[in-house]
Amino acid sequence: MDIDAESLSLIQRKQSLYVSQDERFLLGLQKYKGQQYSHIYFFRLYKMREQFRSLINHQHPNLPVHTVLGLEVGKQCIIVGTLYKQMKLKPSVLDEYSKERSAVPLVKPHNFLHPDDHLILEDESGRVKLIGDVVKPSDYVTGVVLAVHGEETSDGDFLVHKIVEAGLPPQIKIPQEAKEDKYVAFVSGLSVGSIKSNPLQIQLLVDLLTGHLGDDKEQNVASQITRIVIAGNSVELQQGLLAGQSLASKDQSKLSEPIKEFDLLLTQLAAAMPVDIMPGPHDPANYSLPQQPLHKCLFPGASAYNTFVSSPNPHSFYLDDVGFLGTSGQNIDDLAKYSEAKEKLDFMERTLRWRHLAPTAPDTLGCYPFTDRDPFVVESCPHVYFVGNQNKYGTQLLKGSEGQLARLISIPRFCETGVAVMLNLRNLECHPLSFSCET
């Protein structure tokens, strides 16, 4: 094209200051060496008990705090412990072995709740069954640390009078109000290589973000996008190909084709702006949380740019002093299997109030057996909390009792909805960006 560069005003992309907070999610040299999962529960309880201590002192100064062992029948007290939910329908790896193969194939329920489920509170000293209407088993899952006020009954159960709410974790205030609009784009579930994904639709997204679409006005908007976060499931590989022993050469390329295609898209993005890419359950990454960053050898094109950041899942960072925390969706999907809520956003709210990102890890959600920490405890409330690969777009602004503000975003799968999400750093407002291409 023969256009005089002078005649066009050069639009400069805005920038934001990026500080990674991912260190706690990186495994580094930690290896599987026969560790077990008891440590992670131990650290979780230890950390949470610390946080509850001041809360209880403040809210219930007169009530004694006991261990499960120290309970006495009829005496009111508070106990802090990890929940274990006894579930009738919970699938077990043992079923593959011990049960006779039934003649009728089992229909897998979408979630494993049953009216007989009940909660047990456990600390280092023992376990006690929780009863009473205050704690609904369907709301809770195994692994949540809870403080409850109540008393032991003569049957040896614990009758709960009240739950001591931890509430949102403390938050660092955003130092000063930003004056200009700056946006962060979120997208998840591109699923390059799946039959559901539409290459044109994805290209439209890339073009819009990189400013190759529309007139000045639109390009101006594009220039305000300072970062894009890709929250998991970027590619989809044919599952059958990975299991076998050796592959024919045409199958070898099937394994690498979608990734090459995706690398091309990433390269375009990275050339224009900073990109964070998180692994998701379908990506070529490990299974257990925290999922480690996607290997750079997968993206020879994009990884040449210093704007390309391969991050772990969960992912946490500051952008212009605004705190972000997010996952590719596994934590929320697992909650939906083992508990109940009206909307996915409610699950997200619960995890913040429980101050734990993924309580069902390690019980039903794969997780690395940490021996020195529980990286999923949310000690400081993020300003933006996002979860990828959900059914539909949803958002909510959560306000805490101490003035905390948290923007919850559920990012839909792009390949099914064509929706990306834009967040304004100035006021934490958020809107969907919909792409469609009728053919």
Partner 1 sequence: MMNKKRLATNPASVPPQSKKRTEEEDVIDEMDEDVFVEETLLLREEEDLLYQDSGLSARLSKWKRPQLSPQFSPHSTSIVFQQLEIDYVIGESHRQLLPQASGPVAILRIFGVTKEGHSVCCHVHGFQPYFYISCPDGMGPDDISRFHQILEGRMRDANRSSKAPRFILRIDLVQKRSIMYYQERKSHAFLKIVVALPTMVASCRGILERGLQIDGLGLKSFTTYESNVLFALRFMIDCKVVGGNWIELPAGQYQKTARSISYCQLEVDCLYTVLISHAPDGEFSKMAPFRILSFDIECAGRKGLFPEPSHDPVIQVANLVTLQGEDRPLIRNVMTLKSCSPIVGVDVMSFDTEREVLLAWRDFIREIDPDIIIGYNICKFDLPYLIERAEALKITEFPILGRIRNSRVRIKDTTFSSRQYGTRESKEVAIEGRVQFDLLQVMQRDYKLSSYSLNSVSAHFLGEQKEDVHHSIISDLQNGNSETRRRLAVYCLKDAYLPQRLLDKLMFIYNYVEMARVTGVPISFLLARGQSIKVLSQLLRKAKEKDLVIPNVKGQGSGQDTFEGATVLEAKSGFYENPIATLDFASLYPSIMMAYNLCYCTLVMPDDIRKFNLLPECVNKSPSGETFVKPTLQKGILPEILEELLAARKRAKADLKEAKDPFERAVLDGRQLALKISANSVYGFTGATVAQLPCLEISSSVTSYGRQMIEHTKRLVEERFKTLGGYKTDAEVIYGDTDSVMVQFGVPTVEEAMALGREAAEYICGTFTKPIKLEFEKVYYPYLLISKKRYAGLLWTNPEKFDKMDTKGIETVRRDNCLLVKNLVNECLHKILIDRDIPGAVQYVKNTISDLLMNRMDLSLLVITKGLTKTGDDYAVKAAHVELAERMRKRDAATAPTVGDRVPYVIIKAAKGAKAYERSEDPIFVLENNIPIDPQYYLENQISKPLLRIFEPILKNASRELLHGSHTRAVSISTPSNSGIMKFAKKQLTCIGCKTPIRNSEQTLCNHCKGREVELYNRTVANVSELEMLFGRLWTECQRCQGSLHQDVLCTSRDCPIFYRRKKAQKDLAEAELQLDRWQF
Nearer to partner 1, 29 or 195 (CB): 29
CA distance 155 to 132: 13
Query: 384, 363 in Cβ contact below 8 A?
Result: no
Q: Does residue 234 contact residue 280 with C-beta atoms inside 8 Å? A: yes
- Whole-number Å distance between alpha carbons of 123 and 67: 7
Residue closer to partner 1 (CB basis): 36 or 391 = 36
Residue 369: partners with Cβ closer than 8 Å, 6 or more residues away: 32, 35, 36, 37, 39, 40, 362
Q: How far is the CB of 64 from partner 1 (least distance, A)?
A: 17
Q: In whole angstroms, how close is the CB of 369 to partner 1 at the nearest point? A: 8
CA distance 181 to 431: 13
Dihedral, 324, 328, 334, 340 alpha carbons, nearest 10: 60
Question: For residue 161, what is the enclosing H or E element?
Answer: strand 158-164
Q: In angstroms, what CA-CA distances link 194 with 163, 225, 259, 301?
A: 46, 28, 11, 21
- 309 vs 49, 228, 235, 386, CA distance in Å? 35, 10, 17, 18
Identity at 402, one-letter amino acid code: E
**12 vs 154 by CB, closer to partner 1:** 154
Nearer to partner 1, 349 or 374 (CB): 374
CA 32 – CA 242 distance, rounded (Å): 22
Strands of the sheet containing 18-20, edge to edge, are: 18-20, 315-319, 322-327, 384-390, 405-412, 394-399
Binding site for partner 1 (CB under 8 A): 31-34, 36-38, 41-42, 45, 68-69, 71, 82, 84, 92-94, 97-98, 100-101, 103, 122-128, 142-143, 155-156, 237, 242-243, 245, 247, 252-253, 255-256, 259-260, 284-288, 295, 297-298, 362-367, 369
Indicate the burial class of 40 (C-beta count within 10 angstroms; 0-12, 13-18, 19 or more): buried
Query: At closest approach, how far in Å is the CB of 84 from partner 1?
Result: 6
| Nearer to partner 1 (CB atom), residue 283 or residue 320 | 283
Min dist CB 95 to partner 1, Å, is 10
Q: Token pair for residue 94?
A: 């043992």
CB of 190 to partner 1, least distance (A): 17
215 vs 53: CA distance, rounded Å: 57
When the beta carbons of 275 and 367 are compared against partner 1, the nearer one is: 367
The nearer residue to partner 1, 113 or 430, going by C-beta atoms, is: 113
Measured from the CB atom, is 303 or 410 closer to partner 1?
A: 303
Q: Give me the least distance between CB of 388 and partner 1, in Å please.
A: 18
Sign, CA dihedral 342-345-347-353, equals negative
Beta carbon of residue 368, minimum distance to partner 1 (angstroms, whole number): 8
Taking the complex as a whole, how short is the minimal distance between the CB of residue 132 and partner 1, in angstroms? 17
Nearer to partner 1, 127 or 431 (CB): 127
Strand partners, 408: 385, 396
The two structure tokens encoding residue 116? 């007989």
The least distance separating partner 1 from the CB of residue 318, rounded to whole angstroms, comes to 27
DSSP 8-state code for residue 289: B
Tell me the closest approach of the beta carbon of residue 80 to partner 1, in angstroms: 13
Nearer to partner 1 by Cβ, of 193 and 323: the residue is 193
Instruction: Indicate the burial class of 276 (C-beta count within 10 angstroms; 0-12, 13-18, 19 or more).
Output: buried
- 109 vs 156, which CB is nearer to partner 1? 156
Q: How far is the CB of 38 from partner 1 (least distance, A)?
A: 5
